[in-house]
Amino acid sequence: MQCIRRQPRRTRSEELLNYERTKNVARMNLQLLGLEGDTDLKFLLGGGELLKLRSSSWMKARFYKLQEDCRTMWHESKTCTKSKQTFSIEDISAVRAGRQSEGLRKYTDELLEGRCFSIIFKGRRKDLDLIASSDEEAKQWVTSLEKIMSNLNNLNCQQKTQHWIFNCLRKADKNCDSQLSLEELKDFLHQINIELDDLYAEDLFRQCDKSKSGYLSEEEIKTFYNLLTRRQEIDEIYAEYAKTTGFMSAENLLDFLIKEQKEEATLADANRLIDQYERDDKAKEKQLMTKDGFLMYLQMFEGLVLNPTHKAVHQDMNQPLNHYFISSSHNTYLMEDQLTGPSSTKAYIRALVKGCRCVELDCWDGSDEEPVIYHGHTLTSKILFRDAIKTIKDYAFKTSDYPVILSLENHCSVEQQKVMAKHMSSILGSALITTPLEDQMPTEFPSPEALKGRFLVKCKRLNKLEVYFTREAAAVNDDTLTEEEDEEEDEEQQKAKKCKKLKIAKELSDMVIYCKSVPFNGFQDAKDNLAFYEMASVKEGKAIQLAEESANCYIRHNVDKLSRIYPAGLRTDSSNFNPVPLWNAGCQIVALNVQTPCPNMDLNQGRFLVNGKTGYILKPAYMRDQMSEFDPITLTRGPWLQHKTLHIMIISAQQLPKVNQKKTSVVDALVKVEIHGVPADTAEKETVHIVDNGFNPMWNENFQFDVHVPALALVRFVVEDYNYAFDNELIGQFTLPFTSLQLGYRHVPLFKDGEPLSSARLFVHIMIMDA
């Protein structure tokens, strides 16, 4: 892309013409988004100058404005070699008013609080720290950006498709004459991920070119759009049930809901769907559903593969804390790798917003008597412990109201441990659990419901919890206790260093109530000597070995205790292990590197997708029974064995994004369906690949799976771009619990790197039968 200074100058008349075209395009996009006349959007389209901050010596004025597509921000760059001067609104994770970022707090004065704001991006893109000319202007930027973000996120699939195709057509219209030539049509098809044979493209063009002018006018482009977006598979389903003069009556729709979708629906439910999704007022008055209304219903949450009732909290939240799988993060402060990557409070925000309920803080002595967090003995950067606790407090309960466990890996001196305790006490206040909830010595964990909005500290402790309920506390020498180095130390590091002794400050020790860190010396030792609140962290290799060789012992161990599993030290690239075998063994806190998108992270996201994204998933009853005979490896008979046959038909996909952004690149899509659960259930099947079509490929392929333990199974839909020479490239995926599948004809939304792909989806048919 040319830099601003090198762009050819337009004449005055060309500038006016371009201005009018741009204004018309923006107006059309605002109509499509339902924001025509909105003052906040007009402000963004006009743009303004902001100070961009990077460091104490780098603060420069830059112009920012919303482009006419109403989904892309353009910003001025003084670097002529810079290839990209835009970013998508959909790439923004959050807009934060004030000096909330590390950079703004470090490099600006408190007097600028009201003028500052930050744009936080998804993934690893660097965030923007910006300063407006006034408090009012900063508020306007924050309000306007949040409005356009909310609006784009809340568009239904049909609106997203219309908006996307309109802007692709506009980009294809190179000479901006509101017409499409055959060459421009081919360019448009490439943009939307279709490679058509030239003869077929010419035939399609001729069908639409009613005027025989050699160009498609506005009305002819609409005809072309209708041909392009026609869903043949939906037409066939609709035709089968539209028995009332070519339309679906409420009775016809009810028939479809019962026969195909296997729902316990009533006529009132069918009428509600017509009222909600039918766009044709005349049809709605007669309580009829058109084909467009039917498609709209299938693309909304009632028609998705995920059971909508499972999106809310639907499990019993009054069981003891250890009866739940708990969404957990390892080395939460890291943004990238474990050796040289940056540490940041943003990493805590990312984990907490994703629903993590156990975050890790590696604490070391810092300068000026302020403890710091970083990956010890590496080149990772450092953040203040105080800043991390402030950030955790601010974001802990944005996604979930349920308790957050602060897992402290403590390497600090006694004096700085006292500072840690002081910061936690002053910042977290009454939300921090510092005494047992009960008036007498508890015998089991409190429930997530009882701990709502509270913080638990996991760390070493000087003595037993029982001292709270005895007249004489256990004697402690000099307020400290020597302990072995943290159990997360790698074996190689342990051999290389002498056994280091660590002293524990009483002020920090007293904050450890329900999660006392202890070494793991085997299941029998734990049964004989450990209280319920004493928990061990075990490295992945040892934990997986225990889960394979002694699964039932592990399950019984976790009936009244907590287990935390963490990645091996050799995973310096922040890669992840497969969490499924550990969940199968009842382990609650399976900590992963949430900063690293990968199939194992997809499984974690799928496990905690349901129950209101609380970060707590109730384990099956047979994993909460001290006398349980369940063993995921041998699978003897018991209540866990509920053999099901899963039938999945992969019908089609819509609007798959390119994995290679070259103009001529088009995907060759294939679909894999994976089952993850106990070893007997683990399976994978895939379709053929469809050549040169990422816009609306069709497969109509059937798969069948046997699922023996449905309560532990996850289903993962994967869409890939086929490559005969190298590994296929991921286009998108979606993972959900087997027990949350909806039956019948369903759309499957697609995610990549943990974020939703705007309009991409699969269309499938699902049946589950007793085997």
**Same-domain pairing of 220 and 240:** no
CA distance 367 to 357: 30
- Confidence (pLDDT) at 495: 46
Average pLDDT for runs of 10 along the chain of length 771: 42 59 73 81 91 91 89 74 72 91 90 94 86 95 93 77 72 73 81 71 82 83 77 93 88 96 96 93 92 92 95 97 98 95 93 96 95 95 96 96 97 96 98 94 96 97 89 49 47 48 88 96 95 96 96 96 95 96 98 96 98 98 96 93 97 89 79 98 97 91 98 98 92 98 97 89 97 85
The angle that helices 232-241 and 291-299 make with each other, rounded to 10 degrees, is 110
Annotated binding-site residues for Ca(2+) read 331, 360, 362, 409, 668, 721-722
Query: For residue 354, is it within any domain?
Result: yes
Would you call 663 exposed, middle or buried from its count of C-beta atoms within 10 A (0-12, 13-18, 19+)? exposed
**Same-domain pairing of 259 and 405:** no
Number of other CB atoms surrounding residue 612 within 10 Å? 18
For residue 692, the domain's CATH number is 2.60.40.150
**Same-domain pairing of 357 and 282:** no
Give the end of a domain, one of 205, 229, 253.
229
Number of structural domains in the chain? 5
**Same-domain pairing of 225 and 238:** no
Annotated binding-site residues read 331, 360, 362, 409, 458, 460, 537, 564, 668, 721-722
**Same-domain pairing of 402 and 452:** yes
For residue 236, the domain's CATH number is 1.10.238.10
- Confidence (pLDDT) at 664: 64
| Torsion sign across C-alpha atoms 617, 122, 673, 601 | negative
- Confidence (pLDDT) at 334: 96
Query: For residue 498, is it within any domain?
Result: no
β-strands 502-503, 563-566 pairing:
unpaired
Q: The tokens of 130 are what?
A: 């910006």
For residue 55, the domain's CATH number is 2.30.29.30
Cβ contacts of 696 within 8 Å, gap of 6 or more: 194, 231, 652, 653, 654, 655
Residue with tokens 């499938």: 764
Query: For residue 133, is it within any domain?
Result: yes
CB 613 within 8 A of CB 397: no
The SS3 of residue 140 is helix
- Confidence (pLDDT) at 11: 64
State which H helix or E strand residue 599 sits in: helix 599-607
Q: The tokens of 142 are what?
A: 């924050």
Give the end of a domain, one of 270, 303, 336.
303
Q: Write the DSSP symbol of residue 11.
A: P
**Same-domain pairing of 283 and 134:** no
Which ranges of 124-156 does DSSP label H, i.e. alpha helix?
135-153
Burial 578-599 (b: 16+ CB within 10 A, else e): bbbbbbbbbbbbbbbbbbbbbb
Q: What's the half-sphere exposure (Cβ side, CA atoms, 13 Å) at 211?
A: 13
**Same-domain pairing of 24 and 102:** yes
The SS3 of residue 196 is coil
- Confidence (pLDDT) at 458: 98
**Same-domain pairing of 416 and 563:** yes
**Same-domain pairing of 276 and 368:** no
| CA end-to-end span of the chain | 59
Residue with tokens 């976790």: 558
**Same-domain pairing of 163 and 148:** no
Query: For residue 757, is it within any domain?
Result: yes
Query: For residue 755, is it within any domain?
Result: yes
Range of the domain at 603: 321-462+507-623
CA 578 to chain centre: 18
Which ranges of 455-574 does DSSP label H, i.e. alpha helix?
491-496, 506-509, 523-529, 540-549, 551-560
- Confidence (pLDDT) at 83: 46
| The amino acid at 636 | T
**Same-domain pairing of 337 and 411:** yes
Within 418-555, strands assigned E span 455-459, 482-483, 502-503, 515-517, 534-539
Give the end of a domain, one of 134, 154, 174.
154
- Confidence (pLDDT) at 326: 98
Known catalytic residues are 330, 375
**Same-domain pairing of 162 and 267:** no
Residues written for the chain: 771
Query: For residue 480, is it within any domain?
Result: no
Number of other CB atoms surrounding residue 71 within 10 Å? 20
For residue 367, the domain's CATH number is 3.20.20.190
Quick check: pTM over 0.85?
yes
Query: For residue 164, is it within any domain?
Result: yes
Query: For residue 336, is it within any domain?
Result: yes
